[in-house]
Amino acid sequence: MKRCGYIAIVGRPNVGKSTLMNYLLGQKLSITAHKPQTTRHSILGIHTQDDVQCIFIDTPGIHIGGKRALNRVLNKAAQAAIQDADAIVMIVQASDWTDEDQLVFDRVKNLKTPVFLAVNKIDRLNEKQELLPYLANLPESENIQEVIPISARKGQNVARLETLITEALPPGDHFFAEDQITDRSSRFLAAELVREQLTRFLSKELPYALSVEIEQFEHSGGVDHISAVIWVEKKSQKGIIIGKGGERLKEIGKRSRVSMEKLFGSKVYLQLWVKIKSGWADDERTLRSLGYTDNQ
């Protein structure tokens, strides 16, 4: 019997949602960084094995605060994924329950959708006994099918989670081709890979004041020719990204190009430009033009 369904991976920022999806897919699709709100779009990752097609939705971290239009769009995108899912994986961090975790829990606890509570980063615990009181104090809800301690980074107990997800999916024909891994375009993925390197390279605050837009993506002579604009809000931010003598931008471009060649399987010629667009994260029209929508 064929099974197919959408699984929303939700949680507060920086609990390992993207790392989990990449592990489940067996390859890197979502960008990752040790900084909150790295994921800004709901990204589909499609995994087809035999008669089962799991369509994972990696969502932006649901968060409190943040009064900018971008913050509202990110929270709405995550909420839309929750409403449309056939199953939900809520990720929390081992031994750490925050007000934002409670916010996510409150959004899923009354749904009829089956929820699996994945307690991530157990590999970081010094003593496994630390986990027991944490698990005992987790809130309960009728739709939580099981609590599964995992390490998304190392794959610990992820197979158990995948089995539970598969069993929860409804019967039905597959929505995507067997060899398709996402519904996103190469242009979108290229922009995300540049933003990943920017997020990893720069100071804690700056990644949230920038966005990446692909202006050119052409394939000729076995080479992908890609031109990308990095949008920032202030002149000082532009200088930070470019770095002394352009060295920082050059290194970001080099690392982005390597990631693209690995993902696309072809040679890449990449050009990066840094431009200023004041207040882009507060302007809903600009956000839409950059691909940020409520359902994304």
Interval 238-249: pLDDT, tens: 998 999 999 999
186-289 belongs to CATH 3.40.50.1100? no
Mean pLDDT confidence for 280-286: 65
User: Options 3.40.50.300, 3.50.30.50, 3.40.190.100, 3.90.1200.10; which CATH number does 3-168 get?
Assistant: 3.40.50.300
Global pTM value? 0.80
Q: Is the pLDDT of residue 40 over 60?
A: no
Torsion of CA 274, 278, 283, 287, to 10 degrees: 0
User: Given this model, what pLDDT does residue 68 score?
Assistant: 64
Q: Is the pLDDT of residue 296 over 60?
A: no
Give the pair of three-digit tokens for residue 132: 């027991």
% of the chain exceeding 90 in pLDDT: 56
Give the pair of three-digit tokens for residue 126: 């010094």
Q: Is the pLDDT of residue 155 over 50?
A: yes
% of the chain exceeding 70 in pLDDT: 85
Give the pair of three-digit tokens for residue 51: 């008669």
181-196 tens-digit pLDDT: 998 889 989 998 998 8
Q: Is the pLDDT of residue 254 over 90?
A: yes
Q: Where in the chain are the domains?
A: 3-168, 186-289
User: Given this model, what pLDDT does residue 205 score?
Assistant: 62
Q: Is the pLDDT of residue 287 over 70?
A: no
> Among 183, 265, 273, which residue's Cα sits nearest to residue 224?
265
Give the pair of three-digit tokens for residue 137: 């104090």
Q: Is the pLDDT of residue 64 over 90?
A: no
Q: What is the chain's mean pLDDT, rounded? A: 87
88-121 tens-digit pLDDT: 999 999 988 999 999 999 999 989 999 999 999 9
Torsion of CA 20, 22, 32, 181, to 10 degrees: -140
**Looking at the chain, which runs of residues are DSSP E strands?**
3-10, 43-49, 52-58, 87-93, 115-120, 144-149, 211-220, 223-232, 267-276
Report d(CA 97, CA 99) in Å as an integer: 7
Q: Is the pLDDT of residue 37 over 60?
A: no
Mean pLDDT confidence for 68-88: 77
Q: Is the pLDDT of residue 282 over 90?
A: no
> Among 10, 16, 6, which residue's Cα sits nearest to residue 47?
6
β-pair partners for 271? 227
User: Given this model, what pLDDT does residue 208 score?
Assistant: 67
Mean pLDDT confidence for 41-67: 85
Mean pLDDT confidence for 160-180: 95
Q: Is the pLDDT of residue 127 over 50?
A: yes
Question: Residues with Cβ < 8 Å from 151, sequence gap 6 or more?
Answer: 120, 121, 122, 123, 157, 158
Domains 3-168 and 186-289 agree in fold: no
